[in-house]
Amino acid sequence: MTEVLQLIISGAIQGMIYALIAFGYNLTFSTSKTINFSLGQIVMLGGVVGYILYIDMTSGHLSGMPFIVPLLAVMVVGALAGAVVHKTAVEPSLKFKSEYTWILATLAVGIIIKNGVEQIWSTGDYKMLSPLGDEVIRFGGIGIYAQEILIVVVSLSIVCGVEIFKRRTIYGKAIQAVSEDKATASLMGIPEKFVITISFMMSACIAAIAGLLVAPLTFVAATMGTVLGIKAYSVSIIGGLESGFGPLVGGLILGISETLTARYISTGYKEMPGFIFLIVVILFKPNGLFGKKIIKKV
Amino acid sequence: MLKVNNVGVSYGGIKAVRGVTMELRPGELVSLIGSNGSGKTSLLRAISGLVDVDQGSIFIDGKDVAGVPAHERVKLGLAHCPEARKIFGQQSVMDNLLLGAFLRFKKEKKSEIEKTIDEVFAIFPKLKDRQTQLAGTMSGGEQQMLAIGRALMLKPKILILDEPSMGLAPVVIDEVFNVIGRIKETRQTSILLVEQLAYRALQLADRAYVLEQGVVRIEGTGAELQNSPEVRSAYLGGH
């Protein structure tokens, strides 16, 4: 029993990371109707920048900087990366008649980021230390790292914070207005292009934070973002690309199914149930489990 | 207040508006009538910056707005209540009204905006009862009222109304035109009204223009056009 519980909790924590990145996909999809496929690489950028500042690479010990410095740096780097993706890849692509240029353009930015990090930084794997240490906290028979609790707390606060911002403030409502109807939003005086750029910056900033959060649990490497990015994308689809809280549920489903399959079937099959679920969702609920129903009346 | 000078609009080589010159003076209600495809909506979209003009110039409150994006033109006091209402269906009635006042949040106190909300509720009591309802679930008439209310939230100098009667029941149309008449009576806002229901649009209008295939065919006071034989036969169903 404790074993199952332990697996569910570990899976849920992994799922929180997926959910956080998926939330980033949703933020830009709702405003721009495009998906930033470089988001996984921005997750990696967050991990790498955090590592460079927080850890002394030659010794592998702490560099002595307080954690707030790498955290702020990661947020700034993330937001800038988001702005760059929007200005250089998405906005120019949307000028083409071909509808899906942005897919290739954002994928390309992702490849550039990954290869750039490999060239400039390193191709190796590095161990990131958690600011909270690596002791295991025990509740009965269940063990949790302090870092894992941090992941849950930060992910939930970001998702809830952004959702409250969108519902309660006039600027959040303006973002929703742009999501719904760009032309009419501009008739309200809302600068729609600026709002879309902001949504890319917020999304990438969140992804970079996710990279910093997950780094102590995985390794830091130029390749760390690729799989996370793909899995988070399927979480977005499962939860619903236009939904705010859908990614949380999608993330939990994917994370928990992975740990349970790895333990009771085989680690080789651990990705299977998540992707089977993805296919089922696409077949029967193409808008995702929590996709918005379109209300239209004439 | 608003000057349109020899303006043309094209969509992929097809000319929808071909050199229209017109004017809206302070406190005036000007109607623009014409059949489907005569270029009325295109002209309005050019005025508010939703489409680019390919000839001519537009002056809002004395300022040439060439190259000024739509959201910047709103700052000049221009509220455009678009064709087919275009309310934000997934947000509440109250949120729609607040979004109408988006630009005022930067410089004005919340109490000022709440005052305007009360004024809009006084004009459209139904909206007050439905303020928490999702706007997309309301009836067409209620949505039209919300769209006008949302435009009024800006306290506009110029109000553009594009086919406010479209798809509404006759009783509701009466109500909508009553409200437009009341806004006109205040003479605080200049109104540019585009309407298929020519008779009603001319009744309210100080002046009016008849648009045909992208050019102004006839212009004059509302009364003049109501009595013009040409307008009567083509638009008012007379003989």
Counting the structural domains of chain A, the total is 1
Domain of residue A192, CATH code: 1.10.3470
For residue A199, give its domain range: 2-284
User: How many Å separate Cα A82 from the centre of its chain?
Assistant: 12
Amino acid at A93: S
Is residue A291 in some structural domain?
A: no
pLDDT at A293: 58
B100 pLDDT more than 90: yes
Chain A residues touching B48 at Cβ < 8 A: 187
In this complex, the residue of A181, A187, A298 whose CB is nearest that of residue B74 is: A187
Round to whole Å and give the CA distance between B42 and B60. Answer: 17
Round to whole Å and give the CA distance between B212 and B33. Answer: 9
- The model's pLDDT over B51-99, given as tens digits with 9 standing for 90+, comes to 999 999 999 999 999 999 999 999 999 999 999 999 999 999 999 999 9
Residue B200's Cβ-count burial label (10 Å; 0-12, 13-18, 19+) is buried
- The model's pLDDT over A97-107, given as tens digits with 9 standing for 90+, comes to 787 899 999 99
How many interface pairs between A and B have CB atoms less than 8 angstroms apart?
A: 84
- Residues in CB range of A230: below 8 A, 6 or more apart: A40
Is residue A44 in some structural domain?
A: yes
pTM: 0.91
Average pLDDT, chain A: 92
> Are residues B102 and A191, on separate chains, in Cβ contact within 8 Å?
no
Contact of A183 with chain B, judged by CB distance below 8 Å, is answered with: yes
- The model's pLDDT over A129-171, given as tens digits with 9 standing for 90+, comes to 999 988 899 988 889 999 999 999 999 999 999 999 999 999 9
Is residue A131 in some structural domain?
A: yes
Residue of A nearest to B154 (CA): A188
A243 band by pLDDT with thresholds 50, 70 and 90: confident
A296 band by pLDDT with thresholds 50, 70 and 90: very low
A290 band by pLDDT with thresholds 50, 70 and 90: confident
> Are residues B82 and A183, on separate chains, in Cβ contact within 8 Å?
yes
Round to whole Å and give the CA distance between A211 and A204. Answer: 10
Chain A residues touching B139 at Cβ < 8 A: 297
Q: Are strands B55-60 and B2-11 parallel, antiparallel or unpaired?
A: antiparallel
B238 pLDDT more than 70: no
The CATH superfamily of B1-77+156-239 is P-loop containing nucleotide triphosphate hydrolases (3.40.50.300)
Q: Where are the domains of chain B?
A: 1-77+156-239, 87-155
User: From the CA of B207, how many Å to the nearest CA of chain A?
Assistant: 25
Round to whole Å and give the CA distance between B5 and B11. Answer: 19
Enclosing H/E stretch for A147: helix A146-168
> Are residues A187 and B70, on separate chains, in Cβ contact within 8 Å?
yes
Round to whole Å and give the CA distance between A291 and A242. Answer: 6
Contact A114, A44 (CB under 8 A): yes
Is residue A167 in some structural domain?
A: yes
Query: Which of B41, B87, B88, B113 is the best residue to mutate to test the A interface, defined by the most A CB atoms within 10 Å of its own CB?
Result: B88
Structure tokens at B76: 């000049």
The predicted complex's ipTM stands at 0.92
Chain B residues touching A298 at Cβ < 8 A: 84, 140, 167
In this complex, the residue of B89, B103, B140 whose CB is nearest that of residue A189 is: B103
Round to whole Å and give the CA distance between A29 and A153. Answer: 25
User: From the CA of B223, how many Å to the nearest CA of chain A?
Assistant: 32
Q: Alpha helix (H) ranges present in A169-271?
A: 170-180, 182-187, 192-214, 224-239, 246-264
